[in-house]
Every structure is written in C-alpha cells, then in structure tokens.
Amino acid sequence: MGSGTAGKNRHVEVERKFDVPTGATLPSFDGLSAVARVERQPAQSLDAVYFDTQRRDLNAHRITLRRRTGGPDAGWHLKLPAGPDARTEVHAPLDSSPEGGDSVPTDLLDIVLAVVRDHPLAPVARISTTRNVVMLYDGDDAALAEFCDDEVSAWALGSGGEAGEEQRWHEWELELVDGEADGGRDLLKRLSNRLLDAGAVPAGHGSKLAKVLETAGTAAEVPDDNEASRDPVHQAVAEQVGELLVWDRAVRADTYDSVHQMRVTSRKIRSLLQASEDAFGLSDDAWILDELRQLAGVLGVARDAEVLAERYEAALEALPADLVRGPVYERLVSGAQRSYQAGLRRSLAAMRSTRYFRLLDALEALVAAQPPHAAPGEEPKPVSIDSAYKRVNKAAKNAAQATEDRDEALHRIRKGAKRLRYVAAATGEPKVSDRAKTIQTLLGDHQDSVVSRTHLAQQSLAAHAAGEDTFTYGLLYQQEDDLANRCREQLDDALSALRKTFKKSH
C-alpha cells in the first residue's frame, strides 16, 4: 500500500567517473548523432563536507552523505547504490538541519538509520572542486548529459575535525540528465568512448570520498574471503542480511510491497539460521531467532492489512454493482488501508529502536565470524536439507490426522516448506526448492483466506450492529471458503511431487 514514490527531492543518478592522466586532452563530442549542440557553462566552485560514523559504516555500504555549498544544487546530498553506474540521490536544503550547521537532517538520517544505527555521524572529509561543465543537447534542445571537468582538492578529517594532508587530482564525470530514459545506457557508453579516446581511464574509485578515505587509510575495512563466505548457507545468510538493509530503506520510504519483502527477508534469515544452528554457533545466541520472529510479527501487522485491502478491492471490483450493498468498501478497503498505516507506524517505531540496531549488529557479526566447528584450513561441515524435509513430511502426516485446528496444522506444513525452500536453494538443490515453493505458495493462499474469513466475520458483525446490509460480506466469505477448499484439494499432489523430487535427488 506504499505510494511507490519518493518525492521530488529524490532521483536516479547515472554517471561514470574517469581519472585524467597528464597529457589527456579535452574530449570532443562532434559527430555524435544524438548530440546536436554543446554549451559550456560558467565555472563553479564547490565545497563539500562528508559525514560518516567512526566505523565508516556508510563508506562500507557505498553510501555518501555530504553538505555542499556552491553550485546550482547546494544542499545536503545522500547517495545510495542503485545498480551499475547508478545511484539514488536524495536532496535536502541547507537550512533543513535540526540544529543548523553540520547537524544531519533528520529525514536523511532516517533513510540510513539501519546502516549507522546509534553511532553518531561526524565530518570525515572535506572536498573542494573547481568544476567546468559542458551540457550536451539533442535536436529538440533537450539536455542529454553533463560533462564535468573537475580539479579536486581534498582532506581527510580526524575525529577532532583536524585536516590531514591535502590530496589533489584531476577527474572527469559524465552524468545523464535523465538516468532512466530509454537509450540512456547506450548514450553513456558512446560518450564514455569519447573520453577514453581523449586519454582518460576509468576511475579507480567509486566516488571522490572513497578516493580520499582510501588514500588517507581511513576507509572501511572489507572482510577477507574465508570459510564463512565460501560456505553456501553462510553466503546465503550474508546476502539476505544485505537485502534486509535494502528493504529497510524501502519501508522507510513507504515503497509499495516493501513491508512484505522485508518480512520475507527476515523470515529467510531465520529459516536458514534454524536449519544450520551448529554452523553458526547459535546455542549461545538463540535470542537472535526470537528477535527475528518478533520483527516479522511487527511487520506482519502492516503486511496483513495490505493484503486484505488489495484482496477486497479486487474482489469488490469483480462483483456486479448490485451485489455490493452498503458501505462495504469503506469498512473493508478503507479500513484495511487505515490499519496498514497504523501498522507501518508501528513497524517504523520498532526499526528506530536500540533493540533493532542490536539485532542488526548481531546478524552482521554472525556472517562475519568463523564457523565455530571448523578447524583452521578445514572446510565447514555442509548443511543437510534432510531435517528440513523431514519437518515438512511430519507436519503433513499430522495434518492428515488432525480432527481439530486443521487450518493451524496446514499452516505448520507451510512454515516447514518455507524453511526447506530456502535451505534447498542455498545448498544447490533448485528442484527441491521449487517444489517446496509450490507448497508454500499454495498454503500461503490458504492462510490468507483464513485471515480474510476471520476479518470478514468480524466486519459483518460490526455492520449488522450498525444496521447495514451484510449480504456482500457473506458473498465474499463464500468466495474465500471456495479458495481454501481448492488449495486443500491441490495439496496432496504438491506434497507427492515434493516427495518424488526429494527421493530422486537423495
């Protein structure tokens, strides 16, 4: 139910940087079919102070945060990775600092809160640039790209703000005006070739700040490749922890489906850790599993409301108008949307807590640590999926014998299938993972129908007490019950397919 928009202060920046050796000449853009004219603009004097934690957390995640004065885009700039040659740039005005001066704007800080957590941000570098800009236009006089010829002076800053030795270099930048325009990547490649022809070489750094910190020896440390990173389950957990931080930012921006994706990611991590507790040494850190469970529960409030709102909106639109009686849309769709917003606020409160920060610290420590049972130079014991499969099989047998709480018994099959899916994918058994995913999806639809029928019954009672027509609630309830029956009818075949696939590969 997120808006899917990030506001006018956010855009995708697609650019390439080049080092300029002695002897390079300014590039020419003559003869390029896409470029009709070029326009040289007045020189700019830019001065920027960059911020990070003492541990260089932003630098480790390829994120930059600066306060720039001078030039047409003076202000606070936060840049986040967005794919090859691309970053999402978020702006805030210079006067948006809550305490003025070098105090980071609250809105920008919140975006990266899962990265910096409760570690204070402070100036880590100052970079001054004399920039000469050439704008490139097409035949309709629309701006295509910006070429920047930069003379740079930079200083790493100590913890007390003292400046280190001055660093100087010459670099070029190419940036597309519309980073998401069709054909933009091809244009960027052709323009880049002109810079290479002029003697430039691809930059050995991703940003000016990265170059300053690396040269000064204060860049973030990158863990060496070790047994933990080579083990497939450790690698899968490490990737999902990285994904968790990405979805955290999306939830804070209220991006569509982000709550769902963050919840799924937290559950993937928990499933992988549960299936390989020995490999991660979780006997002393079992609290991590409980915290992941509770995080998923908090996110589930907003997620369930989001599902219900979309579900009821589609169902009501599919009904003939004469079958939608009373203020059912207001109760079901608008009511669920309000519940989503309340759930989102609750999720954000949890995601701004010290408790959440310590969970993230612990997850990163787990994936960085040496497997506890692996001797030096010895490969860690691979994680078997046998126990995960047996869990699904046992849950299926129990569900077949259940006379009460059958819905809960089916839900336990789904949870087991989910764990099996993630473990099988991490250990290189895609066919088993696909079969488990089929069961998880099937019983996910079933569980959604269980939640929906409970909600419909509650709303029908409220509507009846208010003297409203309850016919449509009963109709929707029957549709949900039919869906649940279809899911149950398909379950045996899905379980049989899983058994055959598992036995064939084992």
* Distance between CA atoms of residues 60 and 241, nearest Å: 14
Q: Kindly state the average pLDDT of the residues 233-247.
A: 91
Q: What is the pLDDT of residue 380?
A: 53
End-to-end CA distance of the chain: 43
The H or E element containing residue 61 is none
Decide: residue 176, CB within 10 A, 0-12 exposed, 13-18 middle, 19+ buried. buried
- Residue 184 sits in the same domain as residue 66: yes
- Residue 366 sits in the same domain as residue 411: no
- Residue 331 sits in the same domain as residue 349: yes
Q: What is the pLDDT of residue 85?
A: 82
Three-class secondary structure of residue 256 per DSSP: coil
Q: What is the pLDDT of residue 228?
A: 44
**The two structure tokens encoding residue 487:** 């899911």
- Residue 427 sits in the same domain as residue 503: yes
Amino acid at 60: A
Q: Which of 214, 70, 222 is nearest to 156 (CA)?
A: 214
Question: Residues of the chain with pLDDT > 70: what percent?
Answer: 91
Question: Residues of the chain with pLDDT > 90: what percent?
Answer: 74
Residues 6+ apart with CB under 8 A from 431: 501, 505
Counting Cα atoms < 13 Å in the Cβ hemisphere of 170 gives 12
* Distance between CA atoms of residues 86 and 184, nearest Å: 12
Q: Which of 91, 191, 190, 111 is nearest to 147 (CA)?
A: 191
Decide: residue 368, CB within 10 A, 0-12 exposed, 13-18 middle, 19+ buried. middle
Domain for residue 312, yes or no?
Answer: no
Q: What is the pLDDT of residue 404?
A: 82
12 in Cβ contact with 179 (< 8 Å): yes
Three-class secondary structure of residue 95 per DSSP: helix
Please report which confidence band the pLDDT of residue 383 belongs to, taking 50, 70 and 90 as the band edges: low
CB atoms near residue 381 (< 10 Å): 13
Domain for residue 341, yes or no?
Answer: yes
- Taking only the tens place, the pLDDT of each residue in 397-430 is 999 998 888 999 999 999 999 999 999 998 889 9
CB atoms near residue 359 (< 10 Å): 20
- Residue 188 sits in the same domain as residue 274: no
85 in Cβ contact with 14 (< 8 Å): yes
**The two structure tokens encoding residue 248:** 């955290």
* Distance between CA atoms of residues 475 and 315, nearest Å: 10
- Residue 39 sits in the same domain as residue 180: yes
- End position of a domain, from candidates 166, 191, 216: 216
Q: Which of 249, 261, 272 is nearest to 296 (CA)?
A: 261
Q: Could you give the angle at the alpha carbon of 119 between the alpha carbons of 115 and 122, nearest 5°?
A: 100
Work out whether the CA dihedral 95, 130, 82, 270 comes out positive or negative. Answer: negative
- pLDDT of residue 348 exceeding 50, the answer is yes
Q: What is the pLDDT of residue 311?
A: 96
Domain for residue 87, yes or no?
Answer: yes
- Residue 233 sits in the same domain as residue 373: yes
Q: What is the pLDDT of residue 5?
A: 38
CB atoms near residue 283 (< 10 Å): 9
* Distance between CA atoms of residues 103 and 144, nearest Å: 35
Give the C-alpha distances (Å, rounded to integers) separating 122 from 101, 126, 464.
12, 12, 59
- End position of a domain, from candidates 378, 401, 427: 378
232 in Cβ contact with 384 (< 8 Å): no
Q: What is the pLDDT of residue 506?
A: 82
- Residue 98 sits in the same domain as residue 122: yes
Q: What is the pLDDT of residue 370?
A: 63
Q: Which of 151, 153, 147, 145 is nearest to 133 (CA)?
A: 147
DSSP label of 374: P
- Taking only the tens place, the pLDDT of each residue in 279-314 is 666 656 689 999 999 999 999 999 999 999 999 999
* Distance between CA atoms of residues 421 and 426, nearest Å: 9
Q: What is the pLDDT of residue 229?
A: 47
The domain in which residue 463 lies consists of 385-506
Domain for residue 5, yes or no?
Answer: no
Domain for residue 310, yes or no?
Answer: no
The interaxial angle of helices 258-275 and 287-318, nearest 10 deg, is: 140
- Residue 147 sits in the same domain as residue 244: no
Domain for residue 3, yes or no?
Answer: no
Q: Kindly state the average pLDDT of the residues 258-262.
A: 96
Domain for residue 487, yes or no?
Answer: yes
Q: What is the pLDDT of residue 299?
A: 97
Mean pLDDT of the chain: 90
Please report which confidence band the pLDDT of residue 7 belongs to, taking 50, 70 and 90 as the band edges: very low
Radius of gyration of the chain (CA): 28
Amino acid at 114: A
Residue with tokens 């480790």, as numbered in its chain: 60
Work out whether the CA dihedral 400, 401, 406, 407 comes out positive or negative. Answer: negative
51 in Cβ contact with 124 (< 8 Å): yes
- pLDDT of residue 325 exceeding 60, the answer is yes
Number of domains the chain is built from: 3
Q: Could you give the angle at the alpha carbon of 455 between the alpha carbons of 449 and 458, nearest 5°?
A: 145
Q: Which of 277, 276, 290, 331 is nearest to 309 (CA)?
A: 331
- Taking only the tens place, the pLDDT of each residue in 447-503 is 999 999 999 999 999 999 999 999 999 999 999 999 999 999 999 999 999 999 999
Q: Kindly state the average pLDDT of the residues 344-370.
A: 93
- Residue 288 sits in the same domain as residue 389: no
Q: What is the pLDDT of residue 182?
A: 81
The CATH number of residue 203's host domain is 2.40.320.10
50 in Cβ contact with 201 (< 8 Å): no
- Residue 372 sits in the same domain as residue 253: yes
Residues 6+ apart with CB under 8 A from 380: 227, 228, 231, 234, 279, 371, 373, 374
Q: What is the pLDDT of residue 379?
A: 55
Amino acid at 485: N
- Residue 153 sits in the same domain as residue 17: yes
- End position of a domain, from candidates 336, 352, 378: 378
Give the C-alpha distances (Å, rounded to integers) separating 71 from 46, 68, 75.
6, 9, 10
Domain for residue 457, yes or no?
Answer: yes
